[in-house]
A and B are shown apart, each in its own frame.
Chain A
Amino acid sequence: MKLHEYQSKFLFRDFGIPIPEGVVATTADEVQQIAAELGGVVVIKAQVHVGGRGKAGGVKVAKNAEDARACAEEILGMDIKGLRVEKVLVDPGADIEREIYLAITNDRGAGRPLIMTSMDGGMDIEALNRERPDAITREHIDPILGLQGFQVTYIASAMGMPRALWRQFGSILRGLYRCYIQSDAELAEINPLVITGEGNLLAVDGKVIIDDNALFRQPELTAERDASDELESERQAREAGITYIKLDGQIGCMVNGAGLAMTTMDMTKLYGDTDGIGPANFLDIGGGATPEQVATALRIILSDSNVKCVLFNIFGGITRCDEVANGILTAYNEVKPDVPMVIRLQGTNAPAGNRIISEARIPNIMSAETLTDAAKMAVAAVKEGA
């Protein structure tokens, strides 16, 4: 779960990290008032879950309260990569001497937290990593011991942090590590952490991503979820315990298991790509594949008007294919899809399952033996319907 910049920075503040004294607003009136109270130059920043908001015009500097109001009128309601800006953060302008990068993330390969920092912050860290990897100081943390004092000193020294700022930097680094651990973050990033004209450190921008699997023990952060970037169909699926991701092809896929679901998508593209045909979605129905779940999944798939064919690929292990076949027929009668369906059942009781499908004699339903056949039939069905 992504946190907005303001949520990330307010969280940092709880861990003793200095941030600009900004306030969140949803109307131009509020922005004007906040800017007047802050006084001087302010920065108005769109709070949306997309990268590149600065380039899209979602961040503006205002000289005074009236100017701030004008900027807010431009930014609020603006569309940035398909998302409407509903909130802005109004921060006092900072006197920036230098921009630093500081982040803690899960290094999946190493199985440890990784601290990455650079005196050359402000820019895109992936670009910096490509162009000048030596400009980034990296330090792994033992997940059982946590961040140690000698590591803080090593990092400050190796990155070239001015000595006068070591104490401040150490406090921020320890705070960020505590924040990362206690919030179950996958990423806790300050970019930039700035050295101000007065020689202080200040976290001017921040990004925190919380591990979805840990939300059960993060009730306060969960309450801050802003799901406005989630599609309605994806939300319905999430609430039904189905993993669904909308894509832009024509073949709706319903599969049990994430790896097999991706594979099924791949097969539709393998055989359909030359005709511009591919998967309409990723959908993992999970272990059970009960009639209710199949019906819910089918409705979600069909809510996408691009879908011209539905491909079922179920490998029955513990799940029995005859039960799945009955589930599909029940769901079919309930949902009455008007697009053809290709059904491929394999594994436990597959022959019985396929018999149930073929005996139902539904003109819209085709049965396939192998995944290859199923994918080819689905592609052909889309071509015929076009």
Chain B
Amino acid sequence: MSILIDRSSKVLVQGITGRQGGFHAKLMMEYGTDVVGGVTPGKGGEWFEGKPVFDTMRKAVETTNADVSLVTVPARFAADAMMEAADAGVRLVICLTEHIPVSDMMRVVRYCAQKGTRLIGPNCPGVMTPGQAKVGIIPAMVAVPGNVGVVSKSGTLTYEVGFAMKNAGIGNSTIVGIGGDPVIGTTFVEVLEMFENDPETEKVALLGEIGGSAEIVAAEYIKNAMTKPVAAFIAGRSAPPGKRMGHAGAIVDGGEGSAEEKIQALEAAGARVAANPEEIPGLLS
């Protein structure tokens, strides 16, 4: 078991003929992900590594029965691509694209909710169920199968922690990068709930950062509804207020969203919070 994706997931890549999309589609296939095709408007009928390319998501889903789509198209087309995927009826849309305007994302998140489509991202590294499938750019070498679920706002920090776990002999059920943007499709709480209900997951690592209040809401959920132990790390303790730290969402604004308040809330909820991400494996064993 796992959450969101497994070896039976049939995956389409929107933007498969692009440089990024093609590169990562190949790595996903090498990992064992069942990539059933791709979509690039105007390139329907072509082939990519033996997989069909379609002009539209509707045609692609009709033909392949795909249930997952990975969006790799540039920011100005990404909102449309996500809504096209939701309209075509896939169960899960994962969007890697960064720099998408917030007003676009507000409409997309609402649209996906109306269509009953789960959206992960944008601006995220994707999802990996080690040993089964990966949809996104999480490197294969950072994780092995196991029973710790990981949910994170960040990319390389996730690899760092996954890799530290692997070196400590700890494996992962599923790793979910939810993205660091202000408005995202799936929040910490929703992923925690999936892990709580997943029999394969025994413990959870949560990697958050400054900005917004998603970690505070997650702490509430941990306190009220989680039975599985949670270890956490919050990046940005040393970040000054009012400065945006790379991620569009990572900003301490008007005293809200600081690392201290998040760490306090998580500790009060019973999570074990590391001051150093390399301590996470120790907190989980």
Contact = CB atoms under 8 A, between A and B. Distances in A.
B183 A259 contact: no
A267 B183 CA distance: 28
Contact of A213 (B109, B138, B155, B248): B248
Interface string B156-174: 1111100100000000000
A245 B245 contact: yes
Interface centre among A268, A284, A315, by most B CB within 10 Å? A315
B145 interface: no
Interface footprint category on A = 35 or more
A270 B138 contact: no
Interface string A275-318: 00011001010000000000000000000000000000001011
B246 A317 contact: no
A214 B138 CA distance: 27
Contacts of B137: 317-318
A186 B141 contact: no
A217 B99 CA distance: 13
A260 B217 contact: no
B107 A263 contact: no
Contacts of B102: 106, 108, 184, 186, 211, 213-214
Interface in A140-196: 142-144, 181, 184, 186
Contacts of A258: 154, 180, 245-247, 250
Contacts of B109: 111
A363 interface: no
B97 to A, nearest CB: 10
Contacts of A243: 246
B160 A265 contact: no
A266 interface: yes
B207 A211 contact: no
Contacts of B75: 213, 216
A47 interface: no
B278 A371 contact: yes
Interface centre among A108, A261, A284, by most B CB within 10 Å? A108
A118 interface: no
B76 interface: yes
Given A106-B182, A317-B139, A181 B235 contact: no
Interface centre among A111, A278, A347, A371, by most B CB within 10 Å? A111
B25 to A, nearest CB: 13
A214 B278 contact: no
Q: Which 5 A-B pairs have the closest CB atoms?
A: A259-B154, A258-B246, A257-B156, A317-B139, A259-B157
Given A108-B102, A259-B154, A265-B238, 19 more contacts: A111-B110, A213-B99, A214-B101, A216-B75, A255-B156, A258-B154, A259-B155, A259-B157, A259-B180, A259-B207, A260-B154, A260-B156, A266-B238, A267-B276, A317-B138, A317-B159, A318-B23, A347-B142, A371-B277
